[in-house]
A and B are shown apart, each in its own frame.
Chain A
């Protein structure tokens, strides 16, 4: 099992439950290591002091904050804990809200929050929270400090356990107003017909969300080309396809929508999801081009 990243207590009113945090995401990426390109010797990273070049052991490394006038303030783990001691050891439940009210953009990293230890008392208190949160159908909002950063967190019951997801603060989200390239204002609003056509096309291309159907094609291709390199000593690099041509004029867009709609209604079942479906998308793209 994944190791716990944090242990502390979950506090709900005056009830404190000892808990531990385990990541709910595992890294499945293909891992490479660095080697010297000629000798194949493995590369290691060594941490050295910039002044005397001496190696510095991991436990002798601290965090430094550089002030505006160039002074370096050294901070240790104990310092960070002292900043707000309670927050580094407890997750306080502040309020309960409806999950549906929170846009997923607020959610950051998912974790499992599990009972720490198997003492009868703590396990019972944990179970009580699972039961109560499950039946309330709501998420609890609290806070946690992880790696010297504070997060809002959302706790909910999932699979008879508690899950915890770190969240972004509202002022960490960028407003679309800050970005010039995002179309704003009423001029240039699409016509009713265009939107209706687009909605109809979306309807034709709609499917159930079945997460298991999506393979990580990148991982698959990477492993395949590693194998290719091992066996033949080289890798074939595919030619990139040209960028699709955009429909800039509204009438071209309309034509593209209607053509796609006709195609979707005619030949259903082409919405292949496996490997990015080069066959179908190629046909779609070349069928219509505009000047």
Chain B
């Protein structure tokens, strides 16, 4: 094993001499405390290392060992419901080993190597198998965890195991006495191979009206949520983690608050998945690298997360990866880059920021997986971005914007007004709208596209009218435009606002979303028709059905809203002008 010595320490960056022969991104153990690090630059015989642990106390002259391996993660049954740090060390085991505070130089493997899993093989002796082929399954909570041939192996099955196996046991043995183990390892910085990418034509439903109805995201798509502090990035990410219709959710707390992770940790075992009725924790993998944990591990955490996501995608599942926040990841890059004395790009970020961001988001996608059974899987990536001062012109926001398909812009003014989710309907957009239109038309209603477009038109119109109101006051507007203001107020308050803390409204099924919108728009149509008959707007607004609309989200289901729509039309058509 290659050995050198520490010659310089500057924060998380360590220079080691005598390291000729090291490769980029080799994992090294630094110093007497065996801190884990990764080679990020080679210069003559000096290797520059980013260290994933606090370097306080490290001396020049201490030994640096190169393991010769890249940074890998363990992939196998037992990942679900786990919580890891940025380099896949399970945090509960860290508590056992080092107490309530994280001490250094501890290596723990991600999977439990003693636990036995009931393996049900699906191949027989003599079968010829190749990369991605499913050998059998184990039950991981509610999920059939598919044990697959790793991407670099193929051959003829000579022996098949069955029954209780550990992750180290061979599930099958291929010719030439080559075992295929129950678990695999994969380097985090390299995307796992897949068959081919597929078009994003299926939405990832989130139960959030502003997302699903106005700015939908596709399975395999990418989205960003930028917003200043207090606009609800973390709440949005957590809401998605709760309600997104994915089989597996990977939640990366990257450089964020410790108390927020605790919140997720204590809530997810109790919350139930609305589709399966099982605790949400059972489909979730969490990575917690809080802001006070070492900065280099923050950089790694994003890759650790997406590699685990790819593993479940390869099994044919839909995975949602939520990263909160990618700005902290970018800042980690900047910090390390600064210590390397690299020439800075914009705002001190390294020039390769855009390339790294693009490479990360490109690992999302809906794919045909490797393997003979032609299964498909997807990874949807939603990254929160924390722009300094809430200013969207900063590099991370701008570079991410160039890559992602959905832009959910959080608005400070909406947040101040406690309009949550504070997603701006003016600034946000979804590029998946057209490719998803077919799905919504077939699965929700043929009217869906028209409804959605009308709503956006009205909201846009409202923004224009508000400018006029600011200048001349509301009384100067004609009745027809006042009606638009009233309707869009309903859209905002009774449709777009959705409390993440409400028991009945935190999740809103897509059909109900559609019906709610339909009810509001039919109120508008009825109002316009009535006004056409000379009935004043105020009289329409006094209809009791208006209050019913306000009750829709908390108290009515889709059928009841259907009845309400009938009632609105009936009531409005029988209105007679008051004298």
Q: Do A and B come from one complex?
A: no
* Residues in chain B within 8 A of chain A (CB atoms): none
